[in-house]
Amino acid sequence: MASEPISRLHFLLIPLLAPGHTIPMIDMAKLLVQRPNVVVTIVTTPLNAIRYGPNLQQHINSGLPVRFLELPFPAAEAGLPEGCESADALPGLHLLPNFSVAIGMLQERLEQRFESLDPRPSCIISDRYMLWTADTATKYEIPRIIFDGMSCFKQLCTHHLYASKVLDGLPDSEPFVLPGLPHQIEITKVQLPQEFNPVDLATREQLERAREPELRAYGLVINSFEELEQEYVNELKKLKNGRVWCLGPSSLINNNDFGKVIRGNGTSINEQRILNWLDSKESGSVIYVCFGSSSQVIPPQLVELGLGLEASNHPFIWVIRAGDRAKEIEEWIIETGFEERMKDRGLLIRDWAPQLLILSHPSTGGFLTHCGWNSILEGVCAGVPLITWPQFADQFLNEKQAIQVLGIGMAVGAQQVVHWGIEDKFGVMVKSEQVSNAIRKMMDIGTEGNERRKKAKLLAKVANKAIEEGGSSYKNLTLLIQDIMELAKAKSH
């Protein structure tokens, strides 16, 4: 009934079905549901609910009102093999269009269940790539807030690149200054995300189509904290009517070892073995190497990385993820005796690693990363300086932020985007000497190295304070809830 008082807010969270998008949204659900009178439903599919279920179980067991809404995934109808319910489960990139079709078909399945949701949803928070959620929100007359999984810095860069037309007629490899930013930062066209540096896999028109519902959204939630990028938050708020809420770093909700481990798939090595190995190493001596859940580094490039780690003479944990080409890299490891040679100095983990657990261990002293925003934030939260090796999407922009704005990074020397899905076209982009040199410089105990470590440690302290009661992200979450409550009340009168 229209006059019924609003006693509880119900947030409907709709992540993109890929680990790098789903995991931070589950963390956000945990933050939301700890507030009084807030109910959270995460829209997903049966296999994803099984995969991420343990990540929510503690909260469900403690009686918090958070749950999955499982929608049957239309794999067969979209021409996908059964069981392909996540982007990282696709057997090949030729099936990406089919996966997009299947995701689009979830709209009708959600809308069939919408009226039975209790209480009625007050707000949709959806991934920017779940384009149909804009129409669903309009249909049910509720606000839709976008979760982009990227920084305010990146959002501002994107806005000004569209608005300025600075790229028109610019040669691919000519450095130019990113327009409209508080800092002077140079980049080249071939280092930009796909919407400004297009490839066959997605046309510029398709990428711009994703932008239109974004501009219609009520606001943005960002997995960041204001102190990390205050000038960029301020500028972005001016563009978005003030409706930008930095709620992160959301991974810090996982503040015990159990929470740090159960965030995605199982790992090939027992967590205790990883901890024992780290315990045996000196404080701050280990390099942790991981390229995220969706990077597809080709075997010849992985070989260069392995040889660089060996030449660096530092202990390392290397997460090797080669997808359907894992056999090639395993053959190299066995034939050359790499793992045996490195057994006292290197620990190899296949496919999935408990990243938060490793980064927060006192022995970890550097993080060689692909510069995905989740990984950058997790490095920041752990107070670990970064060795940056961006691959695609927003990652070169994140590298610029880590090195030039935050002062906690050191570049391996990658010069251009290796577009996702066509990595073979690019071949080997970084040599082993570049890897070993970057590691040695990062671990150097001279003035520069110490300055980076000091900045990283300081940022970690600020990050941890941000989500505590009274911190900037804690306050932003309060403001977001108040905003949605006021909208819901106005609508009920």
3-state secondary structure 320-376: ECCHHHHHHHHHHHHHHCHHHHCCCCEEEEECCCCHHHHHCCCCEEEEEECCCHHHH
Query: Given the structure tokens 């301020």, which residue do they identify?
Result: 234
CA 66 to chain centre: 22
The pTM for the full model equals 0.94
From CA 77, how far away is CA 98, in angstroms rounded? Answer: 9
Note the helical H segments in 184-298. Answer: 204-216, 230-239, 257-261, 271-279
pLDDT score recorded for residue 260: 56
Low-confidence ranges of the chain (pLDDT < 50): 1-3
pLDDT score recorded for residue 206: 64
From CA 393, how far away is CA 128, in angstroms rounded? Answer: 14
249 upstream amide cis, omega within 30 of 0: yes
CB 235 within 8 A of CB 182: yes
pLDDT score recorded for residue 93: 75
Does an H or E element contain 185, and which?
none
CA 73 to chain centre: 23
From CA 46, how far away is CA 85, in angstroms rounded? Answer: 8
CB 462 within 8 A of CB 226: no
From CA 154, how far away is CA 216, in angstroms rounded? Answer: 19
pLDDT in tens, 103-139: 999 999 999 999 999 999 999 999 999 999 999 999 9
From CA 396, how far away is CA 386, in angstroms rounded? Answer: 13
pLDDT score recorded for residue 387: 98
From CA 201, how far away is CA 248, in angstroms rounded? Answer: 31
Task: Report CA Rg, the chain.
Answer: 22
Pick the closest to residue 26 from 61, 51, 63 (CA basis): 51
Domains in the chain with CATH codes: 9-248+467-492 (3.40.50.2000), 266-464 (3.40.50.2000)
CB 65 within 8 A of CB 39: yes
The torsion angles phi and psi of 410, rounded to 5 degrees, stand at -140, 125
CB 462 within 8 A of CB 408: no
- How many Cβ atoms from other residues are within 10 Å of residue 63's Cβ? 6
SS3 467: coil
Q: Are strands 176-177 and 186-187 parallel, antiparallel or unpaired?
A: antiparallel
The torsion angles phi and psi of 14, rounded to 5 degrees, stand at -125, 90
Does an H or E element contain 454, and which?
helix 447-466
pLDDT score recorded for residue 198: 75
119 upstream amide cis, omega within 30 of 0: yes
pLDDT score recorded for residue 2: 43
Side-chain-side CA neighbours of 41 within 13 Å: the count stands at 20
pLDDT score recorded for residue 202: 55
The torsion angles phi and psi of 199, rounded to 5 degrees, stand at -130, 175
- Positive or negative torsion for Cα 148, 149, 155, 159: negative
What does the DSSP 8-state code read for residue 378? H
The torsion angles phi and psi of 35, rounded to 5 degrees, stand at -90, 150
Pick the closest to residue 198 from 400, 392, 474 (CA basis): 392
- How many Cβ atoms from other residues are within 10 Å of residue 216's Cβ? 11
From CA 455, how far away is CA 380, in angstroms rounded? Answer: 10
Q: Sheet containing 346-350: give its strands across.
A: 346-350, 316-320, 286-290, 364-369, 386-388, 409-411
From CA 323, how far away is CA 332, in angstroms rounded? Answer: 15
SS3 34: coil
Q: What is the mean pLDDT of the chain?
A: 92
